[in-house]
Amino acid sequence: MFKKIGKFALVGSVGVSCFIAGTYYDNFKPFETETIKKLPGLPFFGTVSAATSFPPPPIESKANRVSQIMKYGFPGYDNIRSFDDYVLSYDHRTKVAHWVFEHLTSESVKRNETVDRAKCEFKPDESIHTYFRSNNSDYKGSGYDRGHMAAAGNHKRDQKHVEQTFYLTNMAPQVGRGFNRDSWNRLEKYVRKLTKAYVNVYCCTGPLFLPRKESDGKKYITYEVIGANNVAVPTHFYKVVVGETQDGKLEMEAYVMPNQVIDDNVPLSSFQVPPESIEKAAGLLFFDVARNKISKINGKKN
């Protein structure tokens, strides 16, 4: 699936790409493969056996839908919230999600004509304790977009589904022009298009707070917080995507993008990273129950 976007073609060929790559590689060092060991039995719930995983099963009750979305396990277990078409884990400290999980198919991403995004409103998630809940007022005047983790464009089959993506638990402060509205959106569209190549697409999205080496030689994590609730502005965002082929093969791609203006010409492939580097920084394990079944990671044989 990488040939489409000219993998490696432009890496380092433009200034912004160099800067992004530099920012990234200062902080992310791929692990020695021998250190990558899996703990047995984790995660222990939320995974369902689904022998008949394709053709994609009809989307029925909310309980069934959660089982479909989370088929390959929960990345972590902190403050889980299940919506009709996505599932998330919320971080009470940063006031943004740890991870947001979606299951996409060519059917599920189709837009129903009656669905109207313009009717949607950003709204606080009242299932979160007031101490930890982000509000629209936190974002006001901050200069940041309320950026979707589960993309609105993935949930246009039903007005209720798309409206639920506007809960502030599904938002994080994102740079607007040059990121949320541009390169991040490019990545979202790319993931949506993967439903043409795969029977099932599982997408996990979230924030990162990555360290930088400063002039004193020490590493620091620095991020802005906005509003009265101190909503954290992530330094980066990740997407870890698994595609399931007709014959049951699993292929993974993992992306990290800095939360800053990115040149539209930087190819998405230049943001690919070893998934382990995201796991360690985020404190999560992605698709852990299926990792030994994944045949390709970022286009290379696993």
**Do the beta carbons of residue 224 and residue 233 sit within 8 Å?**
yes
Of residues 57 and 124, the one with the C-beta less far from a copy of itself: 124
- The active-site residue out of 98, 103, 148, 155 is 148
Binding residue per annotation — 154? no
Closest by CA position to 166, among listed 155, 181, 177, 174: 155
Q: Is 148 a catalytic residue?
A: yes
> Using the rule CB under 8 A, is 138 a contact of a copy of itself?
no
Of residues 92 and 111, the one with the C-beta less far from a copy of itself: 92
**Between residue 259 and residue 278, which ones bind a copy of itself under the rule CB under 8 A?**
276
Of residues 19 and 223, the one with the C-beta less far from a copy of itself: 223
Q: Which amino acid is at 197?
A: A
> Using the rule CB under 8 A, is 78 a contact of a copy of itself?
yes
Binding mask 107-136 for a copy of itself (x = CB under 8 A): ----------------------xxxx----
Region near a copy of itself per CB under 8 A, out of 72-80, 169-177, 180-188, 256-264: 72-80
Closest by CA position to 227, among listed 157, 149, 134: 134
Task: Tell which one of 224, 245, 290, 294 touches a copy of itself (CB under 8 A).
Answer: 224
> Using the rule CB under 8 A, is 45 a contact of a copy of itself?
no
**Do the beta carbons of residue 86 and residue 125 sit within 8 Å?**
no
Number of residues forming the site for a copy of itself (CB under 8 A): 37
DSSP state letters, 147-171: EESS-GGG--SSHHHHHHTTBGGGE
Closest by CA position to 297, among listed 245, 248, 241: 241
> Using the rule CB under 8 A, is 218 a contact of a copy of itself?
yes
Distance CA 51, CA 29 (A): 37
Distance CA 157, CA 64 (A): 17
Distance CA 160, CA 190 (A): 24
> Using the rule CB under 8 A, is 225 a contact of a copy of itself?
yes
